[in-house]
Structure 1
Amino acid sequence: MAHPVAIPKLGLTMVDCTLVGWTKQDGDKVEQGEMLYAIETDKITTDVEADGAGFLRRFAEVDSMHEVGAVIGGLFASRDEALAAEAASVAASAPTADRVPAAAPAPASAAAPAPSAAAPAPNPGRARVSPLARRIAAESGIDPATLKGTGGHGAVLRRDVDAEIARRKAAPAASPVPAPVPSVSAGEVRRPLAGMRRAIAQKMMQSLQSTAQMTGFGRVDMGEAVRMRQACLAAEADLGVRVSYTDIVLKACAGALAAMPEINASIVGEEIVTWGDVNVGLAVALDDGLIVPVIHNADRKSIAEIARERIDLAGRARAGRLTRDDMEGGTFSLSNFGSYGGDFETPILNAPQSALLGIGAITDEPVVRAGQIVIRPMMMFSLTFDHRLIDGAVAGRFRARVRTALENPYSMLARMR
């Protein structure tokens, strides 16, 4: 029996992808662990390794769109067997597609099953568009909904968009051209909603439409945290890294998440999943958008280790060199809007995560201490949470735990691995 080559589930929210390339030809010998093909989602292009060995027969073309679990090829015992094979010969033996990051194991009910050859379209009446086709269409000013898709279940693929581009170029010059939309001002500039900005727009709308988001606010006296950071700066040569306030806050969040697993959880389908690891995503601003790489097992790392990982991830994010592992498995997120002068905001959840902490700038403010007005370095912070899963009282206890950790930061040193 042939070994099926099937689309793996590479993230909790992954439903489908576009096959963007093969590294082998029909009949080629494939070793287990070799890079075999590449797929593209809205977020990232990923190389996929062969999970078996044998001679390859490809059943899917480049630029074709596939659901998680779909069989796109097979590995056979001999070259002749591979070249003579048909797709139906391996479809029945396809594995269930539930491969997700170890930090965020999806329950069986969340895994997408392998579709059969006769299965109806999952969203009848609504055209499906591959991520690559969607981007090219946006860049070319084409509405994919007007195209007839040639992919499985009528999916619009890159070749359909390319055909429409070629048709428009070949159209007679005398063809009527729609009048342009009047400009509001002489200096108006328009550009397609495409690439990372389109992916961010879709993800933010999906987050707001699929969760019951609420935001609570708090203030924390950062005086001791300021002293702690000054001590870290003085010891920078020994630590080998420059510690930031973000690192200290991230460590406080990680400790609070470990103590309150009900926050380190998600609603997946009809189940509540409490994640086994504390993986904190950190929002990094780029020139063309925002990306959220993940510091895995943050509760088991020292502040200096978190600082080193933060600097590495942020640098690779801005250079466009993040890997899939850097982006996946997050169970909570942190956004430092104080880095660009903000005091407080209401961040949108990075779904399917159920909570996100935003921190503002540290500013000197008059406060009352022991009946006296004194000047203290204060910081506003906000916790956005999914009210379907987290009640207001639970969110309040989490904010209080984070505040206590930041006002007594040296206690966090006891949690260094």
Structure 2
Amino acid sequence: EPEPEPEARKDAPKKEDTPKAEAKAAPADDEPAEAPKAPANGGSGQDLSAPVDADGVRVKASPLARRIAADRGIDLTTVEGSGPHGRIVERDLEGLEKTRVVRAGASGRAARASREDEVVRVSQMRKTIAKRLVESKQSAPHYYLTMHVDCDALVQLRKDVNAAQDAVKISYNDLVLRACTKALLAHPNVNVAWEGATIRRFGGVHLAFAVALDTGLISPVVRDADQLGLIDLALAVRELAEKARAQKLDSADYTGASFTVSNLGMAGVDAFTAIINPPAACILAVGALNQVPVVKDGQLAVGHRMTITLSCDHRAVDGAVGAAFLGDVRKALESPVGLLL
């Protein structure tokens, strides 16, 4: 639609009407870079001055586009122009009556800021974790063993234990930690660390468990876990987890692990493989405990199943040794009464 020429002043000299004086109006899609300026108080009484965005930059718009925006209440700083040099023209305002309420008030700067990259400084804890895990993955030849655990009896045992005492609510992770402790006592060649010319066989079970923090992942260590019963082990885990979340762990609280357990089951992860946490030679990855269809005595039934995956450093732990250990962890979880002893 062609834009109207500004109203002539009454005192201006009249020009003769000749065919040459009537120039053909340009279509709105090809509006000239310099359009005629509307009078300061032209016609509608609207303020047609050029709007300015949040950066103080003048928004380029044709006089017709400004009038349409003023009439419809459209904020031109939220409109992207399709004319020359990003100039807003009439066609850019088509159909904006329905969307202007949603877009009103949002400055061009705010819209751009929501899409800008964010650069976050790496914490010292994350630097340390990254350094250790890279060293572990690059130096230790990892191999992985996976087994599926029938947890029907484990689910019932947990209910019974929690109903019988109120000292601490036993979690499935507590039961996994207890099963690992007992299996490590039976397999001392898994409770080891690779030290280059030697392999250290730990005198006690120093059990680490992964705790996710906003600043990174940390693995507090329950020292001499083999000296603790199930309830005391669960209490020790709670105490260390609280210290970790409060960022009050001493260096002795997260160093010197002989074995690590990482559990992502509470996050809905069915199975995963974990990177070995030095100096330990193995780490157990625990998946979610799910209800799944199973076959029992030739009949389809609903059962509780969990997937566990053992990562081993092949320099220190051979495959057969790792498999025997993982098999005993599964047996302890499938016949869990022994976890109470």
Contiguous gaps of at least 5 residues in structure 2: 1-111
Q: 2:156 maps to what in 1?
A: 227
Q: After superposition, where does 1:63-82 map in structure 2 within 5 Å?
A: none
Distance (whole Å) between structure 1 residues aligned to residue 196 and residue 316 of structure 2: 13
Name the % identity: 38
Residue of structure 2 in register with 1:263 after alignment: 190
Quick one: distance in 1 between partners of 2:214 and 2:313? 29
Cα distance in 2 between the residues matched to 1:288 and 1:219: 32
CA distance in 2, matches of 1:338, 1:288: 21
Structure 1 residue matching 2:265: 3-state secondary structure: helix
2:122 and 2:297 map into 1 onto residues whose CA distance is 55
How far apart, CA to CA, are the structure 2 residues paired with 1:194 and 1:226?
Answer: 39
The two structures have a TM-score, normalised by structure 1, of 0.53
Higher-strand-fraction structure: 1
- CA root-mean-square deviation: 1.5
> What is the rounded CA distance, in whole Å, between the counterparts of 1:295 and 1:319 in structure 2?
17
Letter in 2 for 1:224: A
1:188 aligns with 2:188: no
Question: What do the CA deviations read for 1:110-169 (whole angstroms, capped 9, x no partner)?
Answer: xxxxxxxxxxxxxxxxxxxxxxxxxxxxxxxxxxxxxxxxxxxxxxxxxxxxxxxxxxxx
Unaligned runs of 5+ in 1: 1-182
Per the TM alignment, residue 186 of structure 1 is displaced from its structure 2 partner at its CA by: 3.8
Shift of 1:227: 0.7
Q: Which residue of 2 aligns with 1:390?
A: 317
In the alignment, what sits opposite 2:210? 283
Distance 1:323 1:228 in 2: 34
**What is the CA-CA distance between 1:336 and the residue it aligns to?**
0.7
1: CA distance between counterparts of 2:335 and 2:278?
A: 31
TM-score norm. by structure 2 comes to 0.65
Matching residue of 1:200? 129
Matched, 1:403 2:330: yes
Greater RCO (CA < 8 Å, at least 6 residues apart): 2
Superposed displacement of residue 329, structure 1 = 2.4
Cα distance in 2 between the residues matched to 1:234 and 1:203? 41
Q: Summarize the alignment of residues 233-244 of structure 1 with structure 2, pairs less than 5 Å apart.
A: 233-237=162-166, 240-244=167-171
By how many angstroms is 1:384 displaced?
Answer: 0.5
| Number of residues of Structure 1 aligned to a counterpart in Structure 2 | 229
Alignment of 1:4-83 (within 5 A): none
User: Which residue, out of 201, 211, 214, partners 1:274?
Assistant: 201
Deviation at 1:226, TM superposition (A): 0.6
Question: What is residue 322 of structure 1 aligned with on the other side?
Answer: 249
Instruction: Give the superposition deviation at 1:260.
Output: 0.2
Runs of 4+ in 1 over 6 A off after TM superposition: none
Q: 2:144 aligns with which of 199, 215, 219?
A: 215
Q: In the alignment, is the contact (CA less than 8 A) between 2:125 and 2:216 conserved in 1?
A: yes
Report the CA distance between 1:265 and its aligned residue: 0.7
The CA distance in 1 between the partners of 2:127 and 2:256, in whole Å, is 22
